Structure 1
Amino acid sequence: MSSFRRDKKEEEEGGGNPFQNLDKTTLLQEARYFNETPVNHRKCTLILTKILYLLNHGDQELTTQEATEIFFATTKLFQSKDVVLRRLVYLLIKELSSQAQDVIIVTSSLTKDMTGKEDLYRAAAIRALCSITDSTMLQAIERYMKQAIVDKNPAVSSAALVSALHLSATVPDLVRRWANEAQEAIMSDNMMVSYHALGVVVGSRRNDRLSTVKLITKLAKSSLRTPYGVCLLIRHAAKLAEEDGNDASDVYIDFIESCLRHKSEIVVYEAAHAIVNLRKSARDLAQAVSVLQIFCGSSKATLRLAGARTLAKLTAKHPNAVAACAVDLENLISDPNRSVATLAVTTLLATGAESSIDRLMKQISTFMSEISDEFKIVVVRAIKRLCTKYPRKHQSLAAFLAGMLRDEGGLEYKTAIADAIIALVEENPDAKETGLAHLCEFIEDCEHTSLAVRILHVLGREGPKARQPSRYIRFIYNRVILESGPVRAAAVSAVARFGAARPELMPNISVLLARCTVDDDDEVRDRAIYYSAILESGDKDLVDEYILNVPKPNPVLLEKALRDHIANTPNSPFDIDTIPVLAEAVEVKETPAEIEQRKPAAVSREEQYADQLNVIPGIEKIGPPFKTCETVDLTEAETEYRIRCVKHVFARHLVLQFECLNTLSDQLLEKVHVRLEPPAGYQLLGEVACNELPYDKQGSVFLLLQFPDNPMETLGSFGATLEFNVRDCDPTTGEPEPGEGYADSYPLEEVTIGCAEQMRAKAMTDDWEATWERAASAAEACDTFGLSQNDVGEAAATVCEYLGWPKSSISGDAVKEIRGGGMWRGGVPVLVRAKLAAAGGAVTMQLTARSPREDIATVLLAAIG
Structure 2
Amino acid sequence: MASLALSFTSKKEDESGLSSYYNNKTTIIQEARVFNESPISPRKCRALLTRIVYLLYVGETFGTQEATTLFFGTTKLFQHKDSALRQAVYLAIKELATTSEDVIMVTSSIMKDMQPNSEVIYRPNAIRALCRIIDPSMAQGVERFFKAAIVDRNPSISTAALVSAYHLFPNAKDVVKRWVNEVQEAVSAKQSSSFFGSGGGGGGYLGFGGSSQPSGPQSIQSTSNIAQYHALGLLYLIRKQDRMAITKMIQQLGGGKSGAGTTLKNPMALCMLIRYAAKVMEEDPNVQKQMLDLLEGWLRHKSDMVNLEAARVICEMKNVTSQQLTKAIAVLQLFLSSPKPVLKFAATRTLAALALSHPTSVATCNVDLESLIADPNRSVATYAITTLLKTGNEASVDRLIKQITGFMAEISDEFKVIIVDAIRSLCLKFPAKHVSMLGFLSGVLRDEGGYDFKRAVVEAMFDMIKFISDCKEQALSHLCEFIEDCEFTKLSVRILHLLGIEGPKSPQPAKYIRFIYNRVVLENATVRAAAVGSLAKFGINASDSSLQKSIHVLLSRCLDDVDDEVRDRAAMYLRVFNQKRLADIYIKEESVFSLAALEAKLVAYAKDPTAAEKPFDVSTVPKISRAQAAQEAARPSTLDMIGVPAPKKTQEAPAAPSAAEKQSAYAQQLADISQFSSYGPVLNSSANPVQLTENETEYQITCVKHIFSNHIVFQFNVSNTLPDTVLEQVSVIMQPTSEESGLVEDFIIPLTSLTSSNSPDIVYVSFTRTEPDQYAMASFQCTLKFISKELDPSTGQPEEEGYEDEYQLEEVELSAGGDYIIPSYVTFGAEWDRLRSGPSATETFALSAMDSLKAACDSIIEVLNMEPLGGTESPSSTSVHTLQLSGIVTGGGGKVLVRCRMTYSRGQGVTLELGVRAEKQEACDLVVAAVGG
What TM-score comes out, normalization by structure 2 length? 0.77
Per the alignment, residue 548 of structure 1 pairs with 589
Match runs of 1:594-743 below 5 Å = 600-604=654-658, 607=661, 609=665, 616-617=673-674, 626-637=684-695, 639-649=697-707, 655-665=713-723, 667-675=725-733, 688-695=749-756, 697-703=759-765, 710-717=772-779, 720-730=782-792, 734-739=796-801, 741=802
**Structure 2 CA distance for partners of 1:70 and 1:385, relative to 1, 3 Å:** farther
The SS at the match of 2:316 is helix
Tell me the equivalent position of 1:54. Answer: 59
Q: 1:808–1:550: structure 2 CA closer, same or farther, 3 Å change rule?
A: closer
The CA deviation string for residues 109-134 of structure 1, in whole angstroms up to 9 with x for no partner, is 66566558355554455445546766
Following TM superposition, by how much is the alpha carbon of 1:702 offset from its aligned partner in structure 2, in angstroms?
A: 3.6
Q: Judging changes above 3 Å, is the alpha-carbon distance between structure 1 residues 628 and 78 closer, same or farther for their aligned structure 2 residues? A: farther
Farther-moved stretch of structure 1 (625-634 vs 557-566):
557-566
2:835 to 749, 753, 775: 775
Deviation at 1:797, TM superposition (A): 5.7
Distance in 1 (CA, whole Å) between partners of 2:551 and 2:749 is 57
Which whole-Å CA distance do the structure 1 matches of 2:114 and 2:892 have between them? 64
- 2:92 matches 1:89: yes
Bigger drift between 545-554 and 235-244 goes to 235-244
What is the CA-CA distance between 1:430 and the residue it aligns to?
0.7
Q: Distance in 2 between matches of 1:352 and 1:568?
A: 61
1:717–1:275 CA distance, 2 compared to 1 (3 A): closer
Deviation at 1:451, TM superposition (A): 1.8
Superposed, 1:415-434 pairs within 5 Å as 415-434=455-474
| Structure 1 residue 239, shift from structure 2 partner | 5.3
1:368 correspondence with 2:408: yes
Aligned to 1:345: 385
CA distance in 2, matches of 1:338, 1:17: 40
Q: How does 1:219-234 map to 2 (within 5 A)?
A: 219=253, 220=255, 221-234=261-274
Q: Let me know the Cα RMSD of the aligned residues.
A: 4.5
**1:44 to 1:538, Cα distance in 2 relative to 1, 3 A:** same
1:159-178 correspondence runs (5 A):
159-165=160-166, 173-178=174-179
Distance (whole Å) between structure 2 residues aligned to residue 652 and residue 520 of structure 1: 53
Summarize the Cα distance change of 1:725–1:800 in structure 2 as closer, same or farther, 3 Å threshold.
same
Change in 2 beyond 3 A, CA 1:78/1:162 = same
How far off its partner does 1:716 sit? 3.7
Q: Which residue of 2 aligns with 1:591?
A: none
1:322-370 deviations in Å (ceiling 9; x for gaps) = 4343343333222221212222222233333333333333332222222
Is the CA contact (8 Å cut-off) linking 1:830 and 1:850 kept in structure 2? yes
C-alpha separation between the residues in 2 aligned to 1:299 and 1:13?
Answer: 44
In structure 2, runs of 5+ residues without a counterpart are: 38-43, 79-84, 192-223, 256-260, 633-649
Checking the alignment, whether the CA contact within 8 Å between 1:684 and 1:704 is kept in structure 2 is yes
Distance 1:370 1:181, change over 3 A: same
After superposition, the C-alpha distances for 1:513-540 in whole angstroms (9 at most, x for unaligned) are 3333332223223333344444432117
2:356 match: secondary structure: coil
- Tell which deviates more after alignment, 162-171 or 230-239: 162-171
* Fraction of identical pairs, as percent: 38
1:452 positional shift = 1.5
Query: In the superposition, relative to structure 1, how do residues 711 and 88 fare at CA in structure 2: closer, same or farther (>3 Å)?
Result: farther
> For residues 824 and 226 of structure 1, do their structure 2 counterparts lie closer, same or farther at Cα, with a shift above 3 Å needed?
same
* 1:704 Cα offset (Å): 6.1
Cα distance, 1:579–1:18 mapped onto 2, change above 3 Å:
farther
Q: More displaced, 599-608 or 259-268?
A: 599-608
Correspondence for 2:432: 392
CA distance in 2, matches of 1:576, 1:10: 73
CA-to-partner distance for each residue in 1:227-255, whole Å, 9 max, x for gaps? Answer: 11222233344555677779x75554444
Match of 1:79 among 76, 80, 88: 76
Match of 1:214 among 243, 248, 254: 248
Deviations 1:737-771 (A, max 9, x none): 135x4555555444333332232213455xx2222
Kindly provide the CA deviation profile for residues 370-405 of structure 1, in whole angstroms up to 9, marking residues without a partner as x. 211111222212222221222122122212211111
Change (3 A) 1:425 1:208: same
* Closer/same/farther in 2, CA of residues 576 and 294 from structure 1, 3 Å limit: same
CA contact (8 A) 1:626 1:651 kept: no
Query: 1:480 & 1:336 partners in 2: Cα distance?
Result: 46
CA apart distance, 1:855: 4.4
1:332 maps to which of 372, 395, 415: 372
The separation in 2 between residues aligned to 1:134 and 1:545, in whole angstroms, is 64
Distance 1:410 1:491, change over 3 A: same
Which residue of structure 1 aligns with residue 158 of structure 2? 157
Residue in 2 aligned with 1:59? none
Distance in 2, Cα, partners of 1:707 & 1:413: 54
Give the partner amino acid of 2:535: V
Give a deviation string over 1:718-746, Cα, whole Å, max 9, x none.
5655443433434797531135x455555
Match of 1:496, SS state, is helix
Q: Which residue of 2 aligns with 1:264?
A: 303
Q: Is the 8 A contact 2:87 2:125 kept in 1?
A: no
| Aligned counterparts of 1:241 and 1:634: Cα–Cα separation in 2 | 20
**What one-letter code is carried by the residue in structure 1 that aligns with 2:76?**
Q
The Cα shift of 1:428 comes to 0.7
**Could you tell me whether the CA contact under 8 Å between 2:298 and 2:310 is conserved in 1?**
yes
| Alignment check: 8 A CA contact 1:145 1:160 kept | yes
- TM normalised by structure 1 equals 0.82
Supply the AA of the counterpart residue of 1:770: A
The equivalent residue for 1:58 is none
Contact 1:830-1:857 within 8 A present in 2 as well: no
SS in 1 for 2:230: helix
- Does structure 1 residue 850 correspond to structure 2 residue 918? yes
Q: Which moved more, 1:224-233 or 1:727-736?
A: 727-736
Indicate conservation of the 8 Å contact 2:314/2:325, yes or no.
yes
Deviation at 1:503, TM superposition (A): 5.0
The counterpart of 2:581, out of the listed 539, 547, 550, is: 539
CA contact (8 A) 2:14 2:20 kept: no
- Runs (5+) with no aligned partner, structure 1: 56-61, 587-595
* Deviation, structure 1 residue 660: 0.8
Distance in 2, matches of 1:668 and 1:789, equals 48
1:497-512 equivalence runs, <5 A: 497-502=537-542, 504=544, 505-512=547-554
Q: CA deviation at 1:552?
A: 5.1
Give the counterpart of 1:514 among 525, 534, 556.
556
- Residue of structure 2 in register with 1:191 after alignment: 225
Q: Of the candidates 293, 301, 307, which is equivalent to residue 333 of structure 2?
A: 293
Alpha-carbon deviation of 1:8? 8.1
- Cα 1:760–1:197 shift into 2, 3 Å: same
Compute the displacement of 1:475 (Å): 1.5
User: Matched residue pairs, number?
Assistant: 829
Distance in 1 of aligned mates of 2:655 and 2:285: 34
Contact 2:820 2:890 in 1 (8 A): yes
Q: Does structure 1 residue 833 correspond to structure 2 residue 898?
A: yes
1:682 Cα deviation (Å)? Answer: 6.2
1:590 alignment partner in structure 2: none
Alignment counterpart, residue 523 of structure 1, candidates 552, 561, 565: 565
- Identify if the C-alpha distance between structure 1 residues 782 and 624 changes in structure 2 by more than 3 Å, giving closer, same or farther: closer
